Amino acid sequence: MKRTLLFLIGLTFSAFAFAQQVDQGRDLSKYADDKFSEDDKYTVAEPYATVSVKQPKSKKIKNVIFLIGDGMGLEQVSVAWTLNGGHLNLDNFPVAGLSRTYCTDELVTDSCAGGTALSSGVKTKYGYIGQDADGNPCFTLLHRAQQKGMKTGVAVTCRINDATPADFICASPDRHLEAEVAAKLADSGVDFISGGGRQFWDEREDGRNLIEEMKAKGYTFVDNDADLRNASGERLLGLYGPLDLDPVLDRGSILEDSAMKAIEMLDNKKGFFLMIEGSQIDDWCHRNKVGYMAEEFFDFDKTIGKVLEWAEKDGHTLVIVTADHATGGLTLIDGSLEDRSVSVHFSTKGHNGIMVPVFAYGPHAEEFVGVYENSELSDKIRRLMK
């Protein structure tokens, strides 16, 4: 009896700890809860237009654009596809694969370990950013690009020092060491950095003002979408809010604008590596709100459309879209393509362990067909970058 009671207390504590973990460090006041009346149903009045592109003939890869939908499993793709009346920019990809996301110590991974496998080809421990299970820093695809003299960039809608962007740039044993990670990003030499989290750059306990340091190094600094669109130069730091950016209905097209400005600034003779993240698909699945999730997905898919149009013109750009893991245990249980409506069920407020899709476009896209580990996906890209 006593043992059962202790077990129950333990269970309650771990459930509490888990709930805490899910929203670790996020500013929840940003997330208005009242825009859509129901959390598990959504209807889209007007679908958006999608692009149509052809696979290029070239076999030469000059640029790599790696797009990550945080928390974007196949169900999220199917829900968004239904809500947009049976069309997504993702439909253009000629090749699809499936990636297994588990990490070294958990079957169901997080963005830290999931992103590290994608950035570095190394499966690691839950919570580890850019370092292997023994704590050694990883050599990422972005580092490889820098070594080859390519330009590099990251553009996200969360704080820029959050797990996924940080996984590509630096190493940390703990995602809560945010000021430390921001300093590492500032010292990384990455040419284009765009996202949230300004408070870790200019309100620091160590007295450093990383924004001023970046300006002194020749970076253009912007803090809003209009200035981002008008920015010129070769290097840019964009920080659009103290923490994560507002939901897409409030922040507008900043992800798409960041992606296109990054391409404009990074495109050069030696090529570039650009990571773009639809960061908040995950956040809304954690909160089990399908309408907000769908709008974040549309924002990500519209960005993919713009990237594909540019890649088609360029002809030498490999475009990969995948996820670090799925979130929410989302299930599409009913809906209508005609009415652009869905009815869904969420089975968890955490992540879930299903395989996630990989979409490939451009030279050597065919090498991404099949079922493989998330770490192997990164290895494939690295081999193609040579």
- State which of positions 276-295 bind Zn ion (CB under 5 A): 282
Q: What are phi and psi of 275, to 5 degrees?
A: -105, 125
Query: With respect to Zn ion, which residue has the nearer C-beta, 167 or 282?
Result: 282
Nearest to 192 by CA among 274, 279, 106, 310: 274
- 167 part of the interface to Zn ion, by CB under 5 A: no
Whether 336 is catalytic: no
**Per CB under 5 A, which region of 167-175, 219-227, 275-283, 372-380 contacts Zn ion?**
275-283
- State which of positions 39-78 bind Zn ion (CB under 5 A): none
Residues in the interface with Zn ion (CB under 5 A) total 1
Query: With respect to Zn ion, which residue has the nearer C-beta, 282 or 299?
Result: 282
Tell me the closest approach of the beta carbon of residue 351 to Zn ion, in angstroms: 6
Tell me the closest approach of the beta carbon of residue 111 to Zn ion, in angstroms: 6
Tell me the closest approach of the beta carbon of residue 19 to Zn ion, in angstroms: 13
Residue 343: CB partners within 8 Å, gap ≥ 6?
40, 41, 332, 333, 334, 335
Tell me the closest approach of the beta carbon of residue 92 to Zn ion, in angstroms: 27
Query: With respect to Zn ion, which residue has the nearer C-beta, 68 or 262?
Result: 68
Nearest to 75 by CA among 375, 383, 344: 344
Q: What does the block give as tokens for 102?
A: 């588990």
Residue 256: CB partners within 8 Å, gap ≥ 6?
299, 302, 303, 306
Cβ distance 232 to 213 under 8 Å?
no
**Per CB under 5 A, which region of 55-63, 140-148, 258-266, 274-282 contacts Zn ion?**
274-282
CA–CA separation, 14 and 53 (whole Å): 48
- 256 part of the interface to Zn ion, by CB under 5 A: no
Say which amino acid occupies 62.
K
- Active-site entry in 29, 58, 111, 375: 111
Instruction: Write out the catalytic residue numbers.
Output: 111
Name the residues that contact Zn ion, by CB under 5 A.
282
